[in-house]
Each structure stands twice: as structure tokens, then as C-alpha cells.
A and B are shown apart, each in its own frame.
Chain A
Amino acid sequence: MKELFKKNKDTLITLGIVTGAYIVIEILLKAGALSSLFKGLLVPLCAYIILAVSLNLTVGILGELSLGHAGFMCIGAFTSAFFSKITVGVINPGWLRFVFAILIGFFFAGLFGFLIGMPVLRLKGDYLAIVTLAFGEIIKNIINVLYIGRDSKGLHFSIKDSVSLGLEEDGQMLINGAQGITGTPKDSTFTAGFILIMITLVIILNFIKSREGRAVMAIRDNVIAAESVGINVTKYKLLAFSLSAALAGVAGVLYSHNLNSLMATTKNFGYNMSIMILVFVVLGGIGSIRGSVISAIILTLLPELLRGLSTYRMLIYAIVLIAMMLFNWAPSARAFRERMVAKLPFFKKKSAEKEV
């Protein structure tokens, strides 16, 4: 038992922190001590945490730069929102429908991750980054011209405009091009978000420790060496990449079932979002799952907290972002911090422990 605990100490600490945060927030929610803004942010926060953690699998564990993570989120969001919209009232109760929606988002995003990963994962570094960025833009572009409607004759598709669907008078638009999907049932809750975060963390932390995860990290550290000991590079790369994509799809499900109006814009599913998720990962520390969780929280809350600054808000946000990066990752800043910490008696012992 002790052995088991020791083995999974890090995992358990991370899960413990998240559970603790959940319990505290739930208590505060019940006590009515949370502002509307914070309450409204809870579900998006969960989605961003899942995104950051899942991207860390690609960037930190697999060691490949992806700028198209939002594309997978987009697939998860739209497939699941579409599903929920057509099955509202058909599949009851709501939570069952939501579980199906999550599975659908997971499956389709993972499928696309697999399909896109197969040809492009042999690319390296920035070339892979640009291909993933391109993929994300393609998805966004296609969804913006996708029209699906339903009437008594069944489903109608078009990639031109809603007129060419030829819907009957009482037909219903399901996906309306740039207007996206309106009226997705609001199934996402904070508790659902928390459960999904826990599942994601368990999947990823276990994956890292598993045989497959170790193979993936071996590939990251040295492809040729990994190949020479008989690791199937393509297989493991694809596995990690598809898993990362599928989990991004889950985040998309959470995101889309929290909003009444889902549109694919540059801001929410374009390269802007992909970059934003990458910022979470890099700021939190590449490969550090806990770091991703924390930086996703900080960077999502930061612009909301700066609302009081009105027009200077995004300017200050940019400055804080640069400053945090420099403070956290510049070697000179790290050396400076180390010196400062060395002077504090409390940390002396701990930092020494860490070195072991």
C-alpha cells in the first residue's frame, strides 16, 4: 500500500490539489459567496485546464509543437453540439445525452487527430507547427461555410448557403454557416467539468507512467536511439497525438455546452486560441501537468480581473504575460531567484530536497 502511494505520489498530489480546489469552490458556491463573474467562469476554466493539460501531452511529453489544438477543440465542440441539438428531447435525461455528447466529441476529435497525425507527424519542429496551424484554420474555414438543416424529409447539407438547402417552410437550421449553432442545451456544469478534469488528469498522468508513455518520452529525447531499441516511432507518436486531440475534443464539448451561441471565429477556435493554449503550457512549464493547470487558471482569470482597467486592460495583460515569462524562465531571473531563496531559511531545506 505504501509502495503504491509512493509510486503515484506526484499523481495523487495533483489530483488532491484539484479535488481540494473543487471542494472549496463548491462550498463557496453553496454559501453564495461567489460573484457572478466567477460563477460564469467556472466551466470555461475547466475547459481551458483540460486543453492545457492535453496540449502538454503533445508539447511536453511528445516534444512536438502544435499550433492547431483549437482545431480539435472545434471539432469536439461542433460535433457534440450538433448531436445534442438533434437529440434534445429524444434522449432523456439530460445527463445521459451529455455523456453521449462527450463520447462523440472525444471520438471525432481523436479521429481527426489520427487522420491528420498520420501524414504529418514525420515533419519536424516548426514545420509540424505550421501544418497543425493550417489544419486548425481549415477546420474553422469549413465550419464557417457549413449549412445543415432538417425538415420532414430529413437532413440537408450544403457548403454554399442556407438557401441552397431547399428547406421546407417549417424546416429548422441546425448549423447555419458563420452563425454556427444556436441553442445548444446548457448541459455543462462545474461538477461535470471537475469530473472531466479528473478523468483527463488520470488518463494523462497514467499514460506518462505507462510503457507507452515511456516510449513516447524516449522518442522525444532521441528518435534514433528510440528506434534502435525497437520502439515503433510512428505508432507511439500517433497514439500520443490522437489522445491529446481527443481530450481537446472533450474540452470543446464542455465549452460548447456552456454557450447558447457557438460560432467558429479566429478568437475562439482559430490560431489565436491555439496560441493561447500554448501560452498556458509554456508558462506553466513544458511537461509539468500541474504547472499547466495553474497557469491555465491564472491566465484565464487575469484578463477578467483586469476589467477595472477598462481600455488599458489588454495592454496590461500583455505586459504581465511578458513579465511572467521573463521572471519564470529567463536563466538570469532564475539565478536571481535562486539566490534570493537561498537566503530564506524556510526554503533552504526544501530546495535541497528537490535536487535529489
Chain B
Amino acid sequence: MRKLGKLTGVVLSAVMAVSMLAGCGSQAKSGAFKIGAIGPFTGDAAIYGLAVKNGADIAIKEINEAGGINGFKIEYNSQDDELDNEKSVNAYNALKDWGMQILVGSTTSGCSIAVSAESSADNMFQLTPSGSAKDCIATPNAFQVCFNDPNQGIASAQYIGSNKLASKVAVIYNSSDPYSNGIYEKFAKEAANQPFEIVSAEAFTSDSKSDFSVQLQKAKENGAELVFLPIYYSEASLILTQSASAGYGFKFFGCDGLDGILGVDNFDKSLAEGVMLLTPFAADATDEKTQSFVKKYQEAYGEIPNQFAADAYDAIYIIKAAIEAANATPDMSVSDLCEAMKVQMGKISVDGLTGLSMTWDEEGAVNKAPKAMEIKNGEYALIQN
């Protein structure tokens, strides 16, 4: 009797196999640029992947409404990688089957590195909006929109040092997250050259990221005045809450991952009062570009966009600028398109939400000025200095 179960199994897998065969011949020439995006749309990191997906979508709609790139429309597809390097490669292959010519992704560092091995073999242009590890752009076809981790760590240490924010600093970071780890290490290295001292550096992991009492208490015991948080805002909001309820009275300083903390539904914004962060994007900046983007995003998705959405939005416009500069057309092969755009990436300068006149160096890293923000009266305010 077990036979039937097995038979259904065999039939099912056969059907699947056959249905997977199809789709290869879709390299047909079309009159549109096919852009694909990859990120975690389900799972613990869905918040970042969905932001990238939605941010890119808004930019693409804008461009298509305005007549496209060089008169060609953009077709858009996005695939889930569940924050898994292996699934990210699967997503890349699925997009390739769909006919992707340019990749916006992956959202996270590890996935981006894994995918770049594949994309460089295909010589496909890859622009990661938020993969911040240095290895993300190790291949010549890959570029970044966000700052890389070492940059952020060094810039943070220098900012704290040169503005004399504190003489004793504590760090709380996520040791199981490459982003957080990367920033912390460079921060610690640079701190040696700065007029402050790291008195405690405590980690947490993805498996125990709700209780921070020990980390905060250690910072207090060691007399820290300022706590550096190179982490994402979900955990940071918990740290702020727990620090406030214990009455520690730290100053907090963070990186771009902290941006979005004011967008957490129902978050008591007074807790974040005085938090400083180095971030390229703030959702309530007053310039017209940001405001129009935030408005559109809220209308479409009912949420305030975070920095990931802004990075993805910029990524699309950067691609547009590179294509226009190269005078490329959709009927070029993936590899030719990549070669043409690669050359232009070293020349173009793009004004985006996350920075004015962004340029790229030979390695593919971005040059843009980080903005120091302070949260005042429940809003991000640019620190003038």
C-alpha cells in the first residue's frame, strides 16, 4: 500500500522537474530593461528585504511614468532569499530565468557575497543597496549604494572623538550579524587613535536578543557615558526601553541601522530623545525629494520608509544614470550591458536620497558624506557643525 504514496511522490517530482525545465528560452529581446531585486521577504529579516523591494518599486514606477530610461521601460521582479545564502543564489537563478539583466541585491551582506560569485561568472551588473561588507564588492561587476562597514565604524569613532561626546564608551553589538560585527571591529581599532576609551564591549546573538539587562549593567559598572550601538533598530528600541526603565541615563550613538527607530509602530519616541546616529538618510528630512518619496511610500505601503528603502530607491536611479551615460539599450547582452555600465560607474555622480553627488571608486564602494543626526522632539534633526 505504501506504493501509492511513493508513486504520488515520483509523479509529483517528475511533474516538478518538467515544469522547471521550461523558462530557459526567455532571453528574447524585449523593449524593456529587466531589473531584479533579491532580499529576505519572509523570516526574521523580512523588514529589510521588503523595504528594498518596495523602495525599488517606487523608483521604477516613477521612472516608467516619466517615460523610462532612454525611452525604454523597466520591468521589475523581486525574489525572496529568506536571509539564506543558498536561497539567495536560487533567487538569483530564478531571476535569471525570468530574463534579468541588472541585479539590485542582495539586501544583506552574506547573501550579496554568495550571489556575487554567480553574477560575476555571468558578468551581470550588480548593485547592492544595503550589503555593507567589504567582500560584497570584491568582484568587478558589483557596486554598493550604502557605506561599507569599515567606513561606518571609522567615521563613528572619529565623530565621537573629534566632538568629544564622551571619554568612556561602551559598545553593544550583535556578534552573529556580520554587519554589526564589521562596524564594531573597525570602531574598536580606530578608537585607539581617539581621545576616548572603550570600557566595555558586550555582544548579543540573534538567539538571545530580547534581554539586554546584563550588557547595559556592565556598561554602567564600567562608568560608560555613551553607548555605541552598531545594530539595527528593532533591537535598539529594546535597549533604549530597558535602559530607560533601569534609569541609566546613557547617551546613545548609532549607525545607519538605527535609522527607522522612530518608525516603529507605537514606539515611545521620548525614549529616543538625544540619540545620535550617522546615517545617510532620514525620513523626515525637509528636502523635496525625500518628502515626495516618503509620501509615496506611505501611500503605497502604509509605513514610513527606512534607510533600506531609500538605498533601493537610489539604486534604481543610479542604474538609470549609468545606463543613460552609457547610452545602453535593452537588447544588449547582459555582459555587454555590465561592461558599458561599469565604465560609467567611475564617472557618474548621482544625487539621491541617501547622499548628494555620490561617486564610486574603482573597487565599487560609494563616496558620500554621512550625515550626523540627533533625535530631537521625536524627529531626526541634522546636527550642524
Write the residues of chain A forming the contact surface with B, with a CB cutoff of 8 angstroms: 28, 32-41, 44, 137, 141, 144-145, 161-163, 177-180, 182-183, 186, 255, 258-263, 265-268, 284-285, 288, 290-291, 294-295, 297-298, 301-302, 304-305, 307, 310-311, 313-314, 328, 334, 337-338, 341, 347, 350-351, 354-355
For residue B71, give the distance in angstroms from its CB to the closest CB of chain A. 29
Do A38 and B20 have beta carbons less than 8 Å apart? Answer: yes
Taking a contact as CB atoms under 8 Å apart, the answer to whether B9 and A295 are in contact is yes
Which B residues touch A180, using CB under 8 A?
110
A298 to B117, CA, bound (A): 27
A41 touching B90, Cβ below 8 Å = yes
Q: Bound state CA distance, A334 and B4, in angstroms? A: 10
Complex Cα spacing A41 to B87, Å: 9
A260 pairs with B90, CB closer than 8 A: no
A178 in contact with B4 given A144-B205, A261-B113 (CB within 8 Å): no
B16 x A144 contact (CB < 8 A): no
Name B174's closest neighbour in chain A (CB-CB): A178
Asked, given contacts A37-B90, A37-B93, A179-B110, whether A163 binds B185 with beta carbons under 8 Å apart, the answer is: yes
Given A182-B135, A338-B1, A351-B1, A161–B181 Cβ distance below 8 Å? yes
Q: Which of A33, A266, A268, A350 contacts B86 (CB 8 A)?
A: A268
Contact between A162 and B185 (Cβ–Cβ < 8 Å)? yes
Query: Chain A contacts of B205 at CB under 8 A?
Result: 141, 144
Q: Residue A144 contacts which of B24, B78, B85, B175 (CB distance < 8 angstroms)? A: B175
Among A32, A35, A285, A334, the one with the most B-chain Cβ atoms within 10 Å of its Cβ is: A35
Q: Please report the C-alpha to C-alpha distance between residue A20 and residue B35 in the assembled complex, in whole angstroms.
A: 38
Partner of A262, one of B9, B85, B93, B180: B85
Q: With CB as the reference atom, state the residue of chain A lying closest to B92.
A: A40
Q: Give A355 to B175 CA distance when docked, in angstroms.
A: 56
Contact B110 A261 (CB under 8 A): yes
17 A–B contacts, CB within 8 A, in A order: A35-B20, A35-B22, A36-B94, A37-B96, A141-B176, A163-B189, A178-B175, A179-B181, A258-B86, A260-B113, A297-B16, A301-B20, A302-B16, A304-B90, A313-B80, A334-B1, A347-B3
Structural contact, B85 and A307, CB atoms closer than 8 A:
no
Contact A35 B93 (CB under 8 A): yes
Interface residues of B in 76-129 (CB under 8 A from A): 78-80, 82-86, 89-94, 96-97, 109-111, 113-114, 116-118
**Overall SS of chain A's interface:** helix
Distance (whole angstroms) from the CB of B132 to the closest CB of chain A: 11
Residues of B within 8 A of A307 (CB): 79-80, 91, 94
B42 to chain A, nearest CB (A): 5
B188 within 8 A of A: yes
Top 7 closest pairs, chain A to chain B, by CB: A260-B117, A261-B113, A40-B93, A36-B93, A37-B93, A294-B9, A179-B178
4 extra interchain contacts, Cβ-Cβ under 8 A, other than A35-B20, A259-B85, A267-B82?
A161-B188, A263-B110, A297-B16, A305-B16
Q: Name the residue on B nearest A47 (C-beta).
A: B86
Assess the A294–B13 pair: CB atoms within 8 A.
Answer: yes
Interface, chain B (partner A; CB < 8 A): 1-6, 9-10, 12-13, 16-17, 19-24, 41-44, 78-80, 82-86, 89-94, 96-97, 109-111, 113-114, 116-118, 133, 135, 138, 175-178, 180-182, 184-185, 188-189, 203, 205-207
Chain A residues whose CB sits within 8 angstroms of the CB of B133 once the complex forms: 179
Contacts of A259 in B (CB 8 A): 85-86, 89, 114, 117
- Asked if A38 and B117 sit within 8 Å, CB to CB, the answer is no
Assembled-state Cα–Cα distance A264/B160 (Å): 33
B148 to nearest A CB, angstroms?
13
Residue of A35, A261, A304 with highest tally of chain B CB at under 10 A: A261
Contacts of B19 in A (CB 8 A): 305
CB neighbours (8 Å) of A141 from chain B are 176, 205, 207
Q: Which of A36, A179, A267 contacts B97 (CB 8 A)?
A: A36
- The CA-CA distance from A298 to B92 in the complex, in Å, is 20
CB distance from A325 to the nearest CB of B (A): 12
Q: Check B185 against A301 for contact (C-beta < 8 Å).
A: no
Task: Say how far B297's CB is from chain A's closest CB, in angstroms.
Answer: 17
Question: Could you tell me if A285 and B1 are in contact, using CB atoms closer than 8 angstroms?
Answer: no
**Residue of B79, B94, B181 touching A178 (CB-CB under 8 A):** B181
Our pick among A32, A261, A288, A313 for the contact of B85 (Cβ within 8 Å) is: A261
Considering the chains assembled together, what is the distance between the CA atoms of A355 and B3 in angstroms? 11
B207 & A35 in contact (Cβ 8 Å cutoff): no
- Bound CA–CA A298/B283 (angstroms): 44
Q: Is the CB of A268 within 8 A of B85?
A: yes
